[in-house]
Structure formats: structure tokens, C-alpha cells
Chains A and B, each alone.
Chain A
Amino acid sequence: MLHIVNKSASERSSLDSCLRMATKGSAVLLIEDAVYAATKGNPAESKIRAAGESLKVYVLGPDLAARGMSGRVLDGVSVVDYGGFVDLVTEHRNCQSWL
């Protein structure tokens, strides 16, 4: 399954809930304000690093760039553009948005 999270982990618990429920091997895509979770030094850094052990974590590049965060992406998180976002949706049998 592709899990899409769009709110900052410091604003909303949706990332926590997603990481709790995502089954091993699932993909998590961070978009909009959730992209901060994929950056060095952010409050959710250790959660994202730990998640990377059983999940594939992606972050939407255009949303990172819009927030001046492009140079701060955590190792192990894959940056995708909107084309990559579309591919993630089509490559996974189902998707779920954590709002």
C-alpha cells in the first residue's frame, strides 16, 4: 500500500498514526507540510530513520523546494517529483491518505 501523509509531524499526529499502521514493505510518501519530517534535525527524524527499516519512505521534491528544504533530506529517504508521485500511486495496488 502507498500511504500519503501531508501534515507536519509537529502539527498533527497523522505521521505517527501512519507509521503505526503501515505494514512492512509499504511505501510512505510525504507531501505538503509532511516533507519536514524527511529533513535533518527535525523532531520526527528518528521516527523516519526507524521507519526506513521496514518501509520505503519517499518525499515530494517540489514541496521540499518550496520550503527551502531541498538540501536537508535525510539519507535513506527518496526524493520524487510529481511524476514519481504518480508512479507510486499506479505501482501500488491501493493508497491511503492520512489527513
Chain B
Amino acid sequence: MQIGILVNEGPYTHEASDSAYLFARTAIEKGHKVPRVFFYHDGVNNSNRLAEPPQDDRNVSARWSKLAEEHGIDLVVCVAAALRRGIKDEILAPGFRISGLGQLVEMGIQFDRLVTFGD
């Protein structure tokens, strides 16, 4: 199945991004496809490559980048939400790109399932 994921919250402050990541990774392990993850509201902050969490803790944005690279996931950050929060191309972690809300709607239309993780 093609499963889309919507992440509404930023890293660390809420568990949403962690839950979404573990869900995505497991779906792929089970043979499903996660073609796109869409980041909205504060979720756009998951794309920030400047994050420097402590060495003994997970690096939320980096692991999204790694998962995306390994499995061809399109990590899309909403342009309007990103601009509001100062997320721009120059600070995006690898694998993330900024695009429009239409990319979220397309997920709903084209994929078999869409799961929201938020606050």
C-alpha cells in the first residue's frame, strides 16, 4: 500500500515527529511504500539542518533525511508554514524540499492511506 504521512509538529517538543518516523520506518519494513511525508504547522521545523541535539539523543531531522535517502521518500515542507517560521532552502536538511499545500492534497487523492501525527 502507499501510505502518506502528515507531520504537524516540530521535533522534540512533541512526540508527533518521532511517532511518524517510527511508523514510516515500520511501514517500509513491512513492504509498504511511504512515497511522501508532508510537514505542516511547526512540523516544518523538522527540516532544519542546523539542529544540534545532544550526541546521545536522536537527531530528528537527520534521521528523516537518512530514511528518505534509503527509501526514496519525498520530504515536503509547506511553503506558507515554512516562510512564517523562517525555514528557507538554505537551511534545509538533505532530502527535504519546500513546496505547496497541493502536495498534501495530492497525497490524499493518490495514496491508499494518509495518517496525521500532531499535537
Task: Tell me, yes or no, whether A and B come into direct contact in the complex with CB atoms closer than 8 A.
Answer: yes
A84 to chain B, nearest CB (A): 9
- Indicate whether A85 reaches chain B with its CB closer than 8 angstroms: yes
Residue-wise interface mask of B (18-37) relative to A, using a CB-CB cutoff of 8 A (1 in contact, 0 not): 01001101110110100000
A69 to chain B, nearest CB (A): 15
- Indicate whether A22 reaches chain B with its CB closer than 8 angstroms: no
- Tell me the count of chain A residues lying within 8 A, CB to CB, of chain B: 18
Q: How many angstroms between the C-alpha atoms of A95 and B108 in the bound complex?
A: 12
* SS of A interface (majority): helix
Task: Determine whether the beta carbon of B32 is less than 8 Å from that of A90.
Answer: yes
With known contacts A83-B26, A97-B117, A99-B116, A89–B8 Cβ distance under 8 A:
no
B65 to chain A, nearest CB (A): 20
Chain A residues numbered 53-89 whose CB sits less than 8 Å from any CB in chain B:
62, 82-83, 85-87, 89
With known contacts A82-B26, A86-B26, A86-B32, A95–B19 Cβ distance under 8 A:
no
- Indicate whether B58 reaches chain A with its CB closer than 8 angstroms: no
B21 to chain A, nearest CB (A): 10
With known contacts A82-B22, A89-B3, A90-B32, A99–B118 Cβ distance under 8 A:
yes
- Tell me which of B16, B22, B25, B113 contacts A89 (CB under 8 A): B113
30 inter-chain pairs at a CB distance below 8 angstroms, sorted by A residue, are A4-B115, A6-B117, A31-B19, A32-B19, A82-B22, A82-B23, A82-B25, A83-B26, A83-B30, A86-B3, A86-B27, A86-B32, A87-B30, A89-B27, A89-B113, A89-B115, A90-B3, A90-B32, A90-B112, A94-B113, A95-B113, A95-B114, A95-B115, A97-B116, A97-B117, A97-B118, A99-B8, A99-B116, A99-B118, A99-B119
- Chain B residues within CB distance 8 Å of chain A: 1, 3, 8, 15-16, 19, 22-23, 25-27, 29-30, 32, 112-119
